[in-house]
Amino acid sequence: MPEATIQTIAVIGAGVMGRQVAWACARHGLTVRLFDTDPATALDARRQAQVWLVEDLVPLQVAEAFLARFHVAETLNQAVMGADLVFENVPEVVELKRALYAQVEPLLARNALLGSNASSIPWTPLARDLTGPDRFFLANFASPRTSRLVEYMGGEATASSTRATALAWIRRIGMIPVPIDKEIMGYAGNRIWRAIKKESLFLAD
C-alpha cells in the first residue's frame, strides 16, 4: 500500500478527547467529519471548538475557514465514506472498539487508514478481527489542547506505509510523535506515570 496524504479525517466519538483531536485537525487545515452516536454531543463539540477559537484570539478570517472545514456528520456512513483516515475515540473497551471497526471497515476507501486513540490497550487485541490490519495503527494523544505529545504504536502487520502516513499526519496537526517500536500495554508514558504514582502513594503511606 503506497504512502498517502491525509486531507479528510473522520473522527468517531466527540467526547473529551475526540473533540480535541477534531479541533487540532481542523486547526491545521484538514477537513473534519465528526460523528458521535449522540448528535447533541457532536454539536456541543463544534460549539466548544468555536469557544477555543475565541480563547486563542484566532482572526475572524481564519476562524471562518476553520468552521468551514469542521463538519458534524449525521451518520457513521456520512463521516467515513471517502475519508483518508478514520480515527476513533470511543471508550477504552476492547469489545466496543472491535464492534465499531466491524461497521467501519466495509465503508473504508481503498487506501484509507483506520486509527484508534487508545491509552493502554496494545495493537493486537484491537486488530484481531480486522480484514485489513496492515492499515491499522494506534495513537495515544495526551491532550491536544495542552500537550503536543502523541505516542504512536503499530503492530506486526502494520504496513510501513501506514506507519509513515500516520506519523506524517501527527506532525501535520502540530503534534510531536513518540514512536513506540515494541508493542506494549500502556505505551511508555502511562507506564512511567504508573511507576511515579506507585512510588508517590508509597511515600505518602
Chain centroid to CA 169: how far? 10
Q: What is the pLDDT of residues 162-174, one digit of tens each?
A: 999 999 999 999 9
Task: Specify the DSSP element, H or E, that contains 53.
Answer: helix 39-55
Task: Tell me the domains of the chain and their CATH numbers.
Answer: 8-204 (3.40.50.720)
Q: What is the pLDDT of residues 37-74, one digit of tens each?
A: 999 999 999 999 999 999 999 999 999 999 999 999 99
Task: State the Cα–Cα distance between residues 129 and 191, nearest whole angstrom.
Answer: 27
Does residue 156 surpass a pLDDT of 70?
yes
> Is 176 buried (19+), middle (13-18) or exposed (0-12) by CB count in 10 A?
exposed
Q: Write out the DSSP string of 180-205.
A: E-S--TTTTHHHHHHHHHHHHHHHH-
For cell 475515540, what's the residue? 89
Task: State the Cα–Cα distance between residues 107 and 90, nearest whole angstrom.
Answer: 18
